[in-house]
A and B are shown apart, each in its own frame.
Chain A
Amino acid sequence: MNMSRAGKLSVAVTALLALAGGFVGVSAATASQPNSHVQPQTAVTGETYVIGTDTTFAPFEYRKDGELTGIDMDLIRDIAANQGFNVEIKSLGFDAALQALQSNQVDGVIAGMSITDERKLVFDFSDPYFDSGVQMAVADTNTEITGYADLAGETVVAKRGSEGETFANSIKDEYGFTVKALADSATMYDDVKAGNSVAVFDDYPVLAYGINQNNGLKSVTEKEQGSSYGFAVNKGQNPELLAAFNTGLAELKSNGDYQSILDKYLEQPAPVAASGFFGLLSDSLPALMKGLGLTLLATGLSILVALVLGVLFGFCKVSESRVLRGLASIYVSIFRGTPLLVQAFFFYFGLPQLTGQPIDVLTAGVLTLSLNAGAYMTEIVRGGIQSVDPGQTEAGRSLGLGYVTTMRRVVLPQAVKIMTPSFINQFVMTLKDTSLLAVIGFAELTYQGQQIYAANFRTGETLLIVAALYFIVINLLTMLSNQLDKRFNK
């Protein structure tokens, strides 16, 4: 599974928390209050819990027709119904879900997570609800590899930090093969189909489901004895939720509901024929358009805020005050000098840990993009103003016009004209940068695309559609902007 990597991550995050000291400890403890309960231990009835999960880890969680489904999803919903509480599912990605749990952004995580000693240090686990194991698969056209012994001299692929990787590494010397690590199942399967690796080591339910979805692979070994999956809450938090999960799980097992959920996803149904490209297009378009809407929303909001920031700090940069200039320079160097991805992680995961205030993903995303784009806008505004001939200011001032009037009537109209192409450029950049917000689980266009190909394994075609949507929207907006530029900046 995707496991020990997150184990390491947890340790790192815990260390960070420890560094931040008592302040964080106190605020983190209070952060879960809004979600928690007047009388802990007793009532989960009527409560709503926020549950984090992976984006796609079929068959445990994945999207079908835009809806989250899978073993984990059915299980947590049925247990919630059984125990009388409500769940709000947040599809964040595995690492992100664990970080969200640690920062109390979510109350629990169910994400096909193995119960390990490392994780037990930072989380409290439920009773195991599934026994997994590693299995090997090869391309369905491959007749040469039928067991580990055929792997000598070959390269195999496994998910980074997963049990599959651990297992493959444990036998690679014995059988003489090389292990390559990739980030997710869909990519690994593509790697095997493309012939870059001869075999993949992955969790058997995942493999079984993929093969069933015509992913072009076949399993060639029995599954190895593996670990057990558990539902987790933050250490010492939400004990009543954990208890309710255990009670509910036991009831589902005894009333047969548990088994029918497993059968629904793991029984070998007849393979379904893949639909054509246009079938894929019409199937995926609703979810992609929803993603596109969020992409445009985040872009629009971010550009507006960035424009305000850019004008504000841009004027600071050309002002005569050393303090204002310094302030603007610090702002610009911070946000130009750090990667956008790191900023996104910081605002979504780091900030809540520092302040104790949970932050929703749209706010975090817009905050990231607008502060980042604002830094570039600042430079655009500064450059625009400074590129206006100083003789223009001199002419204005020598007529007796004040600084503000000269700026407003003489310099700015010319500067705006100079800045406009750069503004349009920044607008397009910011629109594309929204795709990075997929990593914090913001359901924009790229994220929706990832969801789709993770479930249907048609990576190339899906990405082609996603890219085409970006291309069309960006070019339409660029054309529109250029038209406006021509009309207003003659």
Chain B
Amino acid sequence: MSKNSAGSRIPAGSKVSVRGLRKSFGSNEVLKGLDVEISEGEVVCVIGPSGSGKSTFLRCLNKLDELSAGTVIVDGFNLSDKTVDLNEVRQHIGMVFQHFNLFPHMTVLQNIMLAPVELKKQSTATARASALKLLDRVGLAEKADARPAQLSGGQKQRVAIARSLAVNPDIMLFDEATSALDPEMVGEVLQVIRDLAAEGMTMVVVTHEMGFAREVADRVIFMADGVIVEEGTPAELFGNPQQERTQDFLSKVL
């Protein structure tokens, strides 16, 4: 690994290493001790009922939420270390939100160019060229000068994905990326994620799309009540769930 400017970079086999992660909001403990290892190029889908802590888990991986206890090492950065430069860390971790969170006062192109220009001191011309390339990749080259308000939900989410790819992340986090979409738009967004997986991107995908998880995931994690109840390959987890709660959940959603 060459990116070692942020002090406590730890060379490790795992891309993501989570040990004993706990997270409380006030007196409400949402994560009750998680242990997860994710290796490079792996696609992990996290499923589970709402309130199980899936999103909080994801937000702990780029420290949008503070950790209450445990260690999280992502891409060699120890997030439990207070001195770690979060801005540096987050450039290695892309995140896609349920509600897109595009910047409404900028055009599509400006949304994508903002971080590269602000962070990497790319010239505007270079940033523009790579932004256009990214837009082309998500099939929205013709929307470069549109405002987010002029896009459909599916288009917005594809722009959001392009935006987070613009800083060349090593890991992508998807937080229920298709939950806010009309059903007919889910497919186009999943296709983009599928393409990313095919290119070997390490990804953690919190999703309600069981079909997608079964198809794309290398591993599926089932969470409930702040703990990992069961994990395994899609075939194992969907075909032969061991835990009663997993069976229960799957019988309701499949």
B62 touches A414 (CB 8 A): no
Contact with B along A386-407 (1 / 0, CB 8 A): 0001011011111111100100
With A400-B119, A417-B105 as contacts: A391 and B167 at CB distance below 8 Å: no
B97 touches A394 (CB 8 A): yes
* Interface-side segment among B11-19, B87-95, B215-223: B87-95
B163 on the A face (CB < 8 A): yes
B202 on the A face (CB < 8 A): no
In the bound complex, residues from chain B placing their C-beta under 8 Å from that of A414 are 103-105
In the bound complex, residues from chain B placing their C-beta under 8 Å from that of A396 are 103
In the bound complex, residues from chain A placing their C-beta under 8 Å from that of B163 are 395, 399
In the bound complex, residues from chain B placing their C-beta under 8 Å from that of A322 are none
Which residue of B has the minimal Cβ distance to A390? B101
In the bound complex, residues from chain A placing their C-beta under 8 Å from that of B90 are 397-400
In the bound complex, residues from chain B placing their C-beta under 8 Å from that of A305 are none
In the bound complex, residues from chain B placing their C-beta under 8 Å from that of A389 are 101
Q: Which of A395-428 contact B (CB under 8 A)?
A: 395-402, 405, 409-410, 413-414, 417
B64 touches A398 (CB 8 A): yes
With A400-B88, A401-B118, A405-B118 as contacts: A394 and B101 at CB distance below 8 Å: yes
Residue of B87, B102, B104 touching A400 (CB-CB under 8 A): B87
In the bound complex, residues from chain B placing their C-beta under 8 Å from that of A405 are 118
B115 on the A face (CB < 8 A): yes
Docked CA distance A401–B90 (Å): 8
Q: Which of B151-199 contact A (CB under 8 A)?
A: 160, 163-164, 167
In the bound complex, residues from chain B placing their C-beta under 8 Å from that of A398 are 62, 64, 90, 93-95, 164
Which residue of B has the minimal Cβ distance to A411? B103
B101 touches A399 (CB 8 A): no
Size of the B side of the interface (Cβ < 8 Å), in residues, is: 26
A391 touches B87 (CB 8 A): no
B101 touches A401 (CB 8 A): no
A399 touches B97 (CB 8 A): no
Which residue of B has the minimal Cβ distance to A402? B87
B64 touches A401 (CB 8 A): no
With A391-B97, A394-B97 as contacts: A399 and B105 at CB distance below 8 Å: no
Q: Which of B43-95 contact A (CB under 8 A)?
A: 62, 64, 86-91, 93-95
Closest CB in chain A relative to B125 CB, distance in Å: 19
Docked CA distance A469–B86 (Å): 57
B101 touches A392 (CB 8 A): yes
B88 touches A394 (CB 8 A): no
Docked CA distance A413–B114 (Å): 14
In the bound complex, residues from chain B placing their C-beta under 8 Å from that of A417 are 105
Docked CA distance A417–B106 (Å): 13
Closest CB in chain A relative to B124 CB, distance in Å: 14
In the bound complex, residues from chain B placing their C-beta under 8 Å from that of A400 are 87-91, 115, 119, 167
In the bound complex, residues from chain A placing their C-beta under 8 Å from that of B102 are 395
Docked CA distance A64–B228 (Å): 89
Docked CA distance A326–B160 (Å): 37
B32 on the A face (CB < 8 A): no
In the bound complex, residues from chain B placing their C-beta under 8 Å from that of A394 are 64, 97, 101
A410 touches B103 (CB 8 A): yes
Which residue of B has the minimal Cβ distance to A398? B95
A401 touches B119 (CB 8 A): yes
In the bound complex, residues from chain A placing their C-beta under 8 Å from that of B245 are none
With A391-B97, A394-B64, A409-B118 as contacts: A399 and B167 at CB distance below 8 Å: yes
B99 on the A face (CB < 8 A): yes
Closest CB in chain A relative to B18 CB, distance in Å: 18
Docked CA distance A402–B91 (Å): 11
Which residue of A has the minimal Cβ distance to B103? A410
A399 touches B114 (CB 8 A): yes
Docked CA distance A398–B102 (Å): 12
Docked CA distance A413–B62 (Å): 25
Docked CA distance A391–B160 (Å): 12
A399 touches B99 (CB 8 A): no
B101 touches A391 (CB 8 A): yes
Which residue of B has the minimal Cβ distance to A399? B115
Which of B89, B99, B118, B164 has the largest number of chain A CB atoms within 10 A?
A: B118
A395 touches B97 (CB 8 A): yes
In the bound complex, residues from chain A placing their C-beta under 8 Å from that of B86 are 397
In the bound complex, residues from chain A placing their C-beta under 8 Å from that of B62 are 398
In the bound complex, residues from chain A placing their C-beta under 8 Å from that of B115 are 399-401
Contact with B along A439-454 (1 / 0, CB 8 A): 0000000000000000
In the bound complex, residues from chain A placing their C-beta under 8 Å from that of B103 are 392, 395-396, 410, 414
Docked CA distance A391–B119 (Å): 20
Docked CA distance A417–B105 (Å): 10
B87 touches A401 (CB 8 A): yes
Which residue of B has the minimal Cβ distance to A414? B105
With A391-B99, A395-B97, A398-B93 as contacts: A413 and B105 at CB distance below 8 Å: yes
Docked CA distance A398–B114 (Å): 13
Instruction: Jot down 6 A-B pairs with beta carbons below 8 A, ordered by A.
Output: A400-B89, A401-B114, A401-B118, A401-B119, A414-B105, A417-B105
For the A-B complex with A397-B86, A397-B90, A400-B90 known, give 13 more contacts whose Cβ atoms are closer than 8 Å: A389-B101, A392-B103, A394-B64, A395-B97, A396-B103, A398-B64, A398-B90, A398-B95, A399-B167, A400-B89, A400-B91, A400-B115, A400-B119
Q: Which 8 residue pairs are nearest across A and B when measured between Cβ atoms?
A: A395-B101, A400-B91, A391-B101, A399-B115, A400-B90, A398-B95, A413-B105, A400-B87
Q: Which residues of B contact A (CB under 8 A)?
A: 62, 64, 86-91, 93-95, 97, 99, 101-105, 114-115, 118-119, 160, 163-164, 167
